[in-house]
Amino acid sequence: MSSGLVAEVRLACRERLAKAGFQPRSGDIFTRPIANDLLWWLGLNRAVGQGRGAVEVNPVVGVRHQVLETSVAELLCVKPHSYIPPTLSISLGYLMPNPTYRPWIFDREVPVAVVADSLVEAVVTYGSVYAEMHGSLVEIIESMVRGEGIRELTAYRLPVGYLLSGRPKFATASLNKAETEIGAREDPAAQQFRGFAAEFRKRLEISR
C-alpha cells in the first residue's frame, strides 16, 4: 500500500502547491520567487511505513539568496546549483502556534486530499510569514547574526553576505571568528573551511 499511497500523496501535494505558485523541482523540492535573486524554498521530507503503513511528511520552508549561494559555491570550488541548498530553513511546525516538530500523516483514515489541503494551507499561511521576514539580503544577514540556521553552514554564508552588502570589515570579522572557533582542528570540515577562507580573502582583495 505504501508505494501507491506515496504516489498519491506526491501528486496531491504537487497539484496544490502548483496552484499556490510553487514550481516543482526534483526530489520533492519546490520554489517560488520572492524578489530578484530570492526564492521561497520548500522541501517535503517524507518517511514511509510509520504506524499502519502511513506516509509522514515534514515540510521544511526556507529562503534561498541566489547570488549569495552562487558565491559560496564558487568559493568552495564547486559548481553552483540553481536551487539547492536553501540559505536558511526551518521545519514548518516551528513557525506555527505552539511551535514544535509537526509532520502531516497520510494513512487513508482521512482522505489524502484533506490532509494535502491542510499541509499546503499551512505552508502558505505560515511559510509566507517566514519568507517575508527574510525578504532581503540584509534581513537574511540579521537572522544569521541572531543565531538562525546551522552554525557550520552560516559560517560560510555570513561573510559572503556581508561582502555582498558592502560591509567588508564585518565580512573579515565574521570569517576570523569562524576560524578562531575551528582552532587547530584538522578534520575534513575544518580543512574545507580554511580553503574557503583562503579563496574568500583573495576575492576580498580583488574587490577593494
pLDDT at 207: 54
DSSP 17-44: HHHTTPEE-TTSEEEEEEETTEEEEEEE
pLDDT at 50: 55
Rg from Cα positions in the chain: 19
Q: Is the pLDDT of residue 52 over 90?
A: no
pLDDT band at 3 (very low <50, low <70, confident <90, very high): confident
SS3 for 87?
coil
Summarize the confidence of residues 117-127 as an average pLDDT.
Answer: 97
Q: What is the pTM of this model?
A: 0.91
Mean per-residue pLDDT over the chain, rounded: 93
